[in-house]
Structure 1
């Protein structure tokens, strides 16, 4: 399920309110302070920080300080190697010798990177802006390596950021929403459409069936919502909702 939230504030209270009652799990996120505060208040939560953001720090360093470009790009290459090693691991069958070997290779690469990062920070000759990037990586290290022990966790939150692109571009193109109510409606519709897309449903097919069910129920939401929630659908219903032909998705109210 995809869930969009619109709020005039970026305060930590927004994150805390959205995850109220959740006391255990893993949040794939950037380094926004709101997530960090939530994790401090909820020790059962782990933050899986984004390697794409860490990579960007080294690229920014290379662009801002040409004298450090070669050094910074070596770290970029090492991050790329982590992605490669993780992809090799994930391509191997669980508990297979190949999987165990690939996991060991990844762990060794991560350990070596941690050691080199600490050495760079401890070296007083390290260029200060470069040391700052390494210090940031050390601060976020526990979150950066969550994916090692939890292979189902992505190394970055690129998918979430890509899903934000349309709302952000739209906000610029049509000047956002004219009222708080319309903004909340926009967030609801973004959540709905993104969830249907995630499940591979045909939006027109789904909307036609849902709106017809509302009409059949006296212009009110259908009583039986399970027929429209993809995680509650059986294989036949999913196939109907993924079809392009509207007649293949019979109404259900």
Structure 2
């Protein structure tokens, strides 16, 4: 495979650079890191389905991380736990392409009907436990073309 040959050439050049006299300290650290992480880096070549970055995870965490000190009440443990729970719920709904505002509206209305308490049975609120008709009802619908 072409990519494996290129992989071998890169490793060869890396090793040549490492034995050079008077190699700059920063360059040496980079090359040593390349040696230490070589096996993991090669996995991207062997399996191109593995993304080379984790931008999806980083972007998902961006809102909570940036906002954690800016949200009112975040100085208490209970509000931190509530925020973490809420961000997890919203991220799950997004992954399942569920309209977050509609889901939240329906959930809060159901709590009101249930004497302002959450339902004992959460299956109608968890996307992976919903039946297809419930998912369709709550899904984000693209506007007609």
Tell whether the structures are fold-level matches, with TM greater than 0.5. yes
1:225 maps to which of 109, 113, 122: 122
Quote the offset at 1:138 in angstroms: 1.7
Alpha-carbon shift at residue 129 of structure 1 (Å): 1.0
TM alignment of 1:186-197, pairs within 5 A: 186-197=83-94
Deviation, 1:239, is 2.0
Residue equivalent to 2:41: 144
CA displacement, residues 180-215 of structure 1 (integer Å, 9 cap, x when unaligned): 221111111111111111221111111122222333
- How far residue 172 of structure 1 moved from its aligned partner, in angstroms, is 4.7
**Secondary structure of 2:124's aligned partner:** helix
Match of 2:58 in 1: 161
Look up the match of 2:32. 135
CA distance in 2, matches of 1:166, 1:173: 11
Equivalent residue runs for 1:1-253 within 5 Å: 104-174=1-71, 177-243=74-140
Higher relative contact order (CA 8 A, sep 6+): 1
Structure number with bigger Rg: 2
The runs of 5 or more residues in structure 2 that have no matched partner are none
Residue 132 of structure 1: CA displacement? 0.7
Give the alignment's TM-score, normalised by structure 1: 0.48
Q: TM-score, normalised by structure 2?
A: 0.77
- Alpha carbons 2:73, 2:79 under 8 Å: kept: no
| Inter-CA distance 109–175: structure 2 relative to 1 (3 Å threshold) | farther
Report the CA distance between 1:136 and its aligned residue. 1.2
SS across alignment from 2:123: helix
C-alpha deviation, 1:176, in angstroms: 7.5
Q: Unmatched 5+ residue regions in structure 1?
A: 1-103, 245-253
Cα-Cα RMSD:
2.5
CA contact (8 A) 1:107 1:148 kept: yes
